[in-house]
Amino acid sequence: MKVAQAFSLLNGLTCSKCGQTHSPFVAQTLSTCCQMPLLSQYDLGVGFSKEELIFRAPTLWRYQELLPVFEEKNQVTLGEGFTPILKLHRLSSAHSIQNLFLKDEGQNPTGSFKARGLCMAISKAKELGKSACIIPTAGNAGVAMAAYCARAGLEAVVVMPRHTPEAFKEECIGYGAQLILIDGLINDCAAKVQEMNRDGRYFDVSTLKEPYRLEGKKTMGYEIAEQMNWQLPDVIMYPTGGGTGLIGIWKAVKEMQILGWLSMDQALPRMVAVQTENCAPVVDTFWGKQPNSKQYVGKPTLANGLAVPRPIGEPLMLQVLRESAGTAIAVSEEELLEGVSEICRHEGLFVAPEGGAIWSAHKKLLKQGWLKTDEKVLLLNTGSGDKYLDNIKGKWRFFS
C-alpha cells in the first residue's frame, strides 16, 4: 500500500531484537525475523522545530509528523492527549517533598491513557483498509478500542477476563463491540484471540503485537517535555502492565534528543516500573528472581491493568530501566488502596488503583533512600477511578 506522506515522517519499521527492517506500507504484526515487537522509525533529520507546535491544537495529533498515520483523513480522534500535569501541593507538604507532580491520564476520552494507543492503532487499521479489529484486554484497552472502532465504523471484538468490573463490560457493549468473557487473566484472553483469528480476519491490536499503539503512548513523553518547558523531571514513575507507556515515553525522549528538542547534556529521567505483588513479572525479572517472565503465573489484582503476567515487551522494559538507571518495585493490594485514598483526600483526584500503586511505590522508594525529597518526580495516573468501583467499593474507606 503506497500513500503520500503528507504528514508523517515515518520511513520504516525495525525489529526490536535484531534491527531488520519491515515495510510500513502493509499491515504488520510481530517481526517476521524474531517474532518480536516492531518499532517505528522516523526521518528525524528534516529540521522539524518544536516552535512549530505553538499554535497547534492541544491534542496528541500536534505531533503528527512523529506519528505513523500518513494521511490526515485517516486520523480517528476523540480529542485525546495533552492531559494536565498537576503539582501535588498537599501531598508534598504532608510528606516534606518539594517537587511532586502527577499527569492525569484519566482525563482522556474513554477515561484512560489507552485512548492514546488505540486511537493510533485504529487509525492505522483504517488507513490499511481493515474492517474488523480484535483485542485481549484487562479493561481500559478494550473500552478504548471499542470507542475508536465505533468512531471509525469498524467491527470490534473485545476479549476480557470475566472478573473485570462491570463498567468496562457495559461500555464495550454500549459502543457496539462483541464482548467475549474468559475465565483467567489477559494471557488467557490472548490465547482466545489467537484462536479466533487463525484465518487473519481481524486486525489484532494486542499490546506490542502491532507497531502503532506504542506510537500513541509515546506522546506522553512529548507532552511531559513540552508541558515542563523542555526540562524533564528527575524521575518518572509508571504503572507497568504491558509496558507500552514506559517504553513509549523513553522512545520519545530519545527521539527528542535527535530532533534537538532536548539538550544532549540534559540529564534524562530515571524510569520506575511499578507493579502489584499479585502480578509482578517485570519486578521479579529485574531483581534476578527469574530469567524472564515466560513462565510467570500471576493473580488477579484490584488494579486490572497491572494483571499482565507474561508481557511480550519485557525485554524492552528492562532495557529502558537499565538505560535510565531506573528501578522496578511492587506494592501490595492494601498499599495501592491506601494510595488511592491518600490522593483522593489530599488532592481531590479519584485515581485508578494503578495510580494509587504509583504513590505508594513513591513512599517506599523515598523511605529506602532511592528517591530524594528535593527531586522532581512525575507520577503517571493511567485512568479514572470511576470504572473500578466494583473493585474498591467498601475497601478503601478504611484508610480515610
Distances (CA, A) of 337 to 2, 88, 322, 392, 398: 50, 18, 29, 8, 9
Q: How confident is the model at residue 7 (pLDDT cuts 50, 70, 90)?
A: confident
Distance, in Å, from the CA atom of 281 to the CA atom of 295, rounded to the nearest integer, reads 9
Residue 393: inside a domain: yes
Residue 127: inside a domain: no
Q: How confident is the model at residue 47 (pLDDT cuts 50, 70, 90)?
A: confident
Query: Rounded to 10 degrees, what is the CA torsion of 296, 298, 304, 305?
Result: -10
pLDDT tens per residue, range 308-356 = 999 999 999 999 999 999 999 999 999 999 999 999 999 999 999 999 9
The domain of 99 spans 85-111+212-399
Count of structural domains, the chain: 1
The arithmetic mean of pLDDT across residues 144-149, rounded, is 98
Position 80 pLDDT exceeds 50: yes
pLDDT tens per residue, range 262-274 = 988 889 999 999 9
pLDDT tens per residue, range 112-121 = 999 999 999 9
Residue 170: inside a domain: no
Look at residue 398 in the predicted model and tell me its pLDDT.
64
The arithmetic mean of pLDDT across residues 180-199, rounded, is 94
DSSP 301-340: -SSGGG--SS-TTHHHHHHHHHHTT-EEEEE-HHHHHHHH
Residue 39: inside a domain: no
Residue 98: inside a domain: yes
Cα torsion 392, 393, 398, 400: sign: positive
The CATH code of the domain that includes 228 is: 3.40.50.1100
Residue 70: inside a domain: no
Residue 5: inside a domain: no
Residue 51: inside a domain: no
